[in-house]
Structure 1
Amino acid sequence: MTTMNMIEAINSGLDNMMERDDNVVILGEDVGYFGGVFRATAGLQEKYGKTRCFDSPISECGIIGAAVGMGAYGLRPVPEIQFADYIYPGMDQLISEAARLRYRSAGDFIAPLTVRSPFGGGIFGGQTHSQSPEAMFTHVSGLKTVIPSTPYDAKGLLISAIEDNDPVLFFEPKRIYNGPFTGYYDKPVEPWSKFDAAEVPDDYYKIPLGKANIVRAGEEVTVLAYGTMVHVAAAVVAEHDVDAEIIDLRTLVPLDIETIEESVKKTGRCLIIHEATRTSGFGAELSALVQERCFYHLEAPIERVTGFDTPYPHSLEWAYFPGPVRIGEALEKIVRELKS
């Protein structure tokens, strides 16, 4: 066991998989000699050679298109898109090729690629380095979408994604890359802070895709979040007199709807938090699913706290994020009748 931040855990997971399976290859902009803009692939080219970890041209459609071909050929490529904002030129390759290959070939070919990409804001990266496009991909049948929130989960989920025979979008919340998370606070806030820079096994282990994590058990309201927002939710809950059950979704597709349903039927209330814009964000899908499955158990309307429906505001990004004020107000609103 070693204490790792998320970047180190991702690097360790890649290292483990490249050591175990010669078919695992890494490609992308600056991933080789330089080790990636965030250093997630540092040392891997030196260890495994330039045919296993190599730089690509600045062409996202080329990176993902090549990875689709590699997967069909029998490799397990892990392409890195330097920022999630850059993924749009590769959308056709992801949606029209990777997502459909197994279906259209009746299983003769697969596309076992894991597209890693930093996403979300928090580093003052501006409009083209801070977007949260996860909902675009959860809409596409054949793609899986994974978003870890801790170093331990990042490594275990990444290994599962690489071994999966379907294409996986692996979005890494760069705001918590280097942990520990403090965000709006001067220091990490319990109960979540102990998971920020975590003890992570050096060796191979897996966390199954499609299984959520109950971060905090509670009886009054179910809070659904993923990525950085799990940390923010836990910190805000710790400052309010609300017995909230916080669920880290971990994977959006496949979604652990059973854990969500069980929790909401117990608490009777649901708060959804995500950083992406509100309209057509993944929270809308979560709200619909909770309404369909838990209608007769709900004691209050479902609440959502999200980013705003605006272009990403570079100079106002901390106002844009769901934070203590807006989350706190939603918590108080949703349990007001319970407390009265």
Structure 2
Amino acid sequence: MPIVNRLCRLGRQIYGRRTFSTQTAAMKRMNLVSAINNALQIALESNPRSYVFGEDVSFGGVFRCTTGLADKFGKHRVFNTPLCEQGIVGFGIGLAAMGNIAIAEIQFADYIYPAFDQIVNEAAKFRYRSGNQFNCGGLTIRTPYGAVGHGGHYHSQSPEAFFCHVPGIKVVIPRGPSQAKGLLLASIWDPNPVVFFEPKWLYRQAVENVPEDDYILPLSQAEVICTGTDLTVVGWGAQMAILHQACSEGRQAGISCELIDLQTLIPWDKETIEASVKKTGRLLVSHEAPITGGFGAEIAASIAERCFLHLEAPVSRVCGLDTPFPLVFEPYYMPTKNKVLEAIKASVRF
């Protein structure tokens, strides 16, 4: 049986078997780092042909997401690589093409650019160029992204939009520990290469009860965090905490916001956003990445096409600035709660 068929069958089996249920699963208090580590342990335990590799991962990585994995599973399955992002992803493509589960770590999303060619020209096109005879669907690329409070222009970027332009890969960004575990496992078992961005700002700040069992959350399915009638607010990753605060204050001012976490950017859940906007008549999208060419622009354009006659105000975007990510001026760059709240009020007043 060709590798692609085996992976597709594996994906169907896993998606059919694993579900997310907080009612029956034992819960454990975890931060986002622990949830990622727990997901990687499950992946390594579930398939002896799964591997975790990247710069410094054998001793836990710079953020300690892989702590203890090499001791438990051996350094032949959890191992360091040279400081060469192109080589890390290229190796992962070859490993996955031979039917293995390759979980590659890029230490910071800011340094994923040397691997850009391997991701967009090789991983994304592997199945297409072979006429579906071969694939590297077992490849997942993990990388921490976004603001960290003191990272500056080389450790704070949000490059997700670059990869959303490329057919053949999926782009996933969780907002917290429960989503990180479920979405990471779904990405690992999905029969397509996935770029999985982890919000490093929340690695230790986000703490919640997480099911200890093996579970997945469906990819390409947005989650409605809270319902509302006046305005649809859409975001992903670390920005969701900011949006939740802004929506809560908006509610105190008498504005009912429907908050939606996109979770998967490619392929994204247009139907959920469309249904919400047809109900509320307004849309606000917010992300840390610069506003020009950010993924919020794609959402705005698509919803304008689908919901034009339902819109009561222009689509709003509250995003990062079109500058390199600053260090001292980070508070001015970030799409803060107050910026979002002002945009919410302006949209409703329009």
Is 1:46 equivalent to 2:71 in the alignment?
yes
Report the RMSD for the aligned CA atoms in angstroms. 0.8
1:229 maps onto 2:269 in alignment: no
Q: Distance in 2 between matches of 1:160 and 1:6?
A: 16
Is 1:29 the equivalent of 2:42?
no
The answer to whether structure 1 residue 60 and structure 2 residue 85 are counterparts is yes
1:92 correspondence with 2:105: no
Gaps of 5+ in 1: 181-196
Distance in 1, Cα, partners of 2:239 & 2:147: 11
Equivalent position of 1:158 in the other structure: 184
Q: Please tell me whether the aligned partners of residues 28 and 79 of structure 1 are also in contact (alpha carbons under 8 angstroms).
A: yes
Opposite residue 143 of structure 2, the aligned amino acid is: S
| In the alignment, structure 1 residue 294 sits paired with structure 2 residue 320 | no
Mapped partners of 1:37, 1:203: distance in 2: 26
Q: Which whole-Å CA distance do the structure 1 matches of 2:224 and 2:117 have between them? A: 35
Give the secondary-structure state (helix, strand or coil) at the position aligned to 2:104. strand
Partner of 1:315: 328
The Cα of 1:324 is off from its aligned counterpart by: 2.2
TM-score normalised to structure 2 length: 0.90
TM-score by length of 1: 0.93
Shift of 1:296: 0.6
Residue 278 of structure 1 contacts residue 308 of structure 1 at CA under 8 Å; is this kept in 2?
yes
> Which residue number corresponds to residue 3 of structure 2?
none
Tell which deviates more after alignment, 103-112 or 91-100. 103-112
Does the CA-based 8 Å contact 1:122-1:318 persist in structure 2? no
Deviations 1:144-198 (A, max 9, x none): 0000001000000000100111110000011111124xxxxxxxxxxxxxxxx22
Q: Please give the per-residue CA displacement for 1:34-65, whole angstroms capped at 9, x wherever unaligned.
A: 21110111000000001110000000000000
Cα pair 2:277 2:311 within 8 Å, conserved: yes
Q: Which structure 2 segments of 5+ residues have no match?
A: 1-26
Q: Does 1:275 align with 2:301?
A: no
**Matched residues in 1 for 2:105 and 2:178: separation?**
20
Instruction: Give the residue type in structure 2 aligned to 1:55.
Output: N
Shift of 1:314: 1.1
Query: Do the aligned partners of 2:103 and 2:142 also contact (CA within 8 Å) in 1?
Result: yes
Residues 84-109 of structure 1: per-residue CA shift (max 9 Å, x gap): 00000001110111000011112221
Among 149, 168, 177, the residue aligned to 1:123: 149
TM-superposed CA distance for 1:318, in Å, is: 1.9
Question: Which region of structure 1 is more displaced relative to structure 2, 171-180 or 155-164?
Answer: 171-180
Structure 1 counterpart of 2:97: 72
- CA shift, 1:113, in A, is 0.6
State the Cα distance separating 1:122 from its structure 2 match.
Answer: 2.4
The number of residue pairs the alignment matches comes to 320
Give the Å deviation of 1:202: 1.3
